[in-house]
Amino acid sequence: MRGFELVHPASLDEAIKLLDVDDPTVRPFSGGTALMLMMKTGVFQPSILVHLGGLEAEHAAVAVTPEGGLRIGALATLTSVEHSAEVVRVAPVIPRAMKRLANVRVRNVARIGGNLAHGDPHMDLPPVLSSLGGAVTVRGPGGTRSIPIEGLFSGYYETVLTRGELITDVTLPSQRGWASAYLKCTTRSADDWPTLGVAVSLKVTDGAIAESRVMVSAATEKLTRLPSAEAVLKGANAGEDAVARAADAAAAEAETIDDARGSAEYKTELLRVYVKRALGEAIRNGAVQ
């Protein structure tokens, strides 16, 4: 990992400019927890690392939007998100998920933008944030655009971000009336990467499920939304029967993959169970006021 240059842009535009090159050895560096692993094992040999830490002052704020949602600066550390009073109020599922996300030291330095941009399908936040209807604001040489998080990932460790593009913000709509839950399943030690992550959000009106988002991660090649499970839930009573049918639909729909944490077949069965449990937990958690 020798011989690279660590540069410190003074502005986001300068960072984008530095990154707008046709060279995969030039990469942005924020918390660095994932990139350092790749560098230490020789998987990634950088020539230039564009350090974004100096931009923290402008791009790490957590704020409630006028609509009652959240805007989180991409350079906010996971710890600052976990402990933000605004996040606790608007989207309590996020701090609940954080307790068992990586570990304290990683959360202290990893940034929410980098966590999403890394494209690792085993991360906990992509399913959680996408189930909340979250989006990222992305700035690049061609300007600014917004991408729903459920559409951010194009494959295994791949995202739709293009050359020079950086995530600047994560935005969440108001969660009023939505009930959410995230469950993950590990099959080796408790602190292992998840074998499966399931995040669900439900909007329940008069006991019936008006709308839902069901997301699966880790067991699939990339973060995946499960519309057939959502279709089962739509209009159904928020009870055991609908939950069980949605779980079956999820299991039938998701394309799980084999790895050291379990066979695809087993993960499909886990998915069935965890969708059921996550929906149950979301209903028990109740809607955010």
Using CB under 8 A, which of 121, 133, 164, 262 touches other proteins? 262
Residue 25 interacting with other proteins (CB under 8 A):
no
Using CB under 8 A, which of 11, 103, 146, 162 touches other proteins? 103
The residue whose two tokens read 């839902």 is: 212
Sheet of 48-51, strands arranged across: 5-7, 48-51, 26-29
The count of chain residues that interact with other proteins, using the rule CB under 8 A, is 42
Using CB under 8 A, which of 65, 108, 237, 285 touches other proteins? 108
Pairing of strands 143-148, 26-29: unpaired
Burial of 156-173, coded b for 16+ CB within 10 Å and e otherwise, reads eeebebeebbbbbbbbbb
At its nearest, how many Å lie between other proteins and the CB of residue 287? 26
At its nearest, how many Å lie between other proteins and the CB of residue 222? 19
Q: Which of 264, 199, 266, 263 is nearest to 226 (CA)?
A: 199
Residue 192 interacting with other proteins (CB under 8 A):
yes
Pick 42 or 286: Cβ nearer other proteins: 42
Measured distance CA(91)–CA(260) in Å, rounded: 33
At its nearest, how many Å lie between other proteins and the CB of residue 116? 19
Residue 23 interacting with other proteins (CB under 8 A):
no
Binding window for other proteins (CB under 8 A); candidates: 100-108, 144-152, 176-184, 216-224: 100-108
Pick 7 or 61: Cβ nearer other proteins: 7
Binding window for other proteins (CB under 8 A); candidates: 111-119, 198-206, 263-271, 278-286: 263-271
Measured distance CA(187)–CA(274) in Å, rounded: 13
Pairing of strands 143-148, 62-64: unpaired
Residue 32, token pair as written in the block: 């660095």
Residue 21 interacting with other proteins (CB under 8 A):
no
Measured distance CA(286)–CA(93) in Å, rounded: 11
Q: Which of 141, 109, 134, 110 is nearest to 12 (CA)?
A: 141
3-state class (DSSP) for residue 222: coil
Binding window for other proteins (CB under 8 A); candidates: 4-12, 138-146, 147-155, 168-176: 4-12
Q: Which residues, numbered 50-69, are part of the site for other proteins (CB under 8 A)?
A: 51, 53
* Other Cβ atoms within 10 Å of 284 Cβ, number: 9
Residue 114 interacting with other proteins (CB under 8 A):
no
What are the counts of helices (DSSP H) followed by strands (DSSP E) for the chain? Answer: 12, 14
Q: Any idea how long the chain is?
A: 289
Pick 2 or 284: Cβ nearer other proteins: 2
Pick 3 or 143: Cβ nearer other proteins: 3
Name the site residues for other proteins (rule: CB under 8 A): 1-6, 32-33, 36-37, 39-42, 49, 51, 53, 79, 99-100, 102-106, 108-109, 185, 187-193, 260, 262-263, 266, 269-270, 273
